[in-house]
Structure 1
């Protein structure tokens, strides 16, 4: 089991500016969060070709609850969190969830 912080980005005013800022500025800040075991990001698409509710989703993955708690309370997380307002013109929704594999049961 792992723990994830999902960061769901609404559709930005300027997609090119969002992508550039996210990859060049924000992601390097987020990668510094202590306790991360993985960090992924991707743009959203729907199966029917419609507009998805989010533009992109990032996942901050932690091995356990204690690592996640420490990471969320860190100075690095505070800096990354404050940086979101610099590029997330479409808003942001964040939540925490536990991942349990159902594949190999």
Structure 2
């Protein structure tokens, strides 16, 4: 079995300043506490040059050795705290994906 990635895609928040004020402590630090990940990546989407809305605002990727490990991780209290905060902060919407890594970049 190959690595599995959990991706959280945050759509554009209704109040970007409020989102950013809470992001580090309530999302990034909470994501780091979810057990079992082998690495974590975060991204902020570049603004469009014409000022139109971007298709997303930020993302967090948590990488796990396999699907079973990722599935177990989301049942932990740490993941519960992360997802509770995600629900509060994601005023523009949010998507969560489980993906099979086809080509690992090690």
Give the match's secondary structure for 1:36: coil
Give the match's secondary structure for 2:33: coil
TM-score under structure 1 length normalisation: 0.84
**Structure 1 segments (4+ residues) deviating >2 Å:** 45-52
Report what 1:33 is aligned to: 34
- Counterparts of 1:1-105 in structure 2 under 5 Å? 1-45=2-46, 51-101=53-103
Number of aligned positions between the proteins: 103
Q: CA RMSD in A?
A: 2.2
Query: How far 1:102 moved relative to its partner?
Result: 7.4
What runs of 5+ residues in structure 1 fail to find an aligned partner?
A: none
TM-score under structure 2 length normalisation: 0.83
Q: Structure 1: how far apart are the matches of 2:66 and 2:48? A: 32
Does the Cα contact within 8 Å between 1:45 and 1:51 map onto a contact in 2? no
Query: How far 1:51 moved relative to its partner?
Result: 3.1
Q: Structure 1: how far apart are the matches of 2:95 and 2:30? A: 19
What runs of 5+ residues in structure 2 fail to find an aligned partner?
A: none
Give the match's secondary structure for 1:7: strand
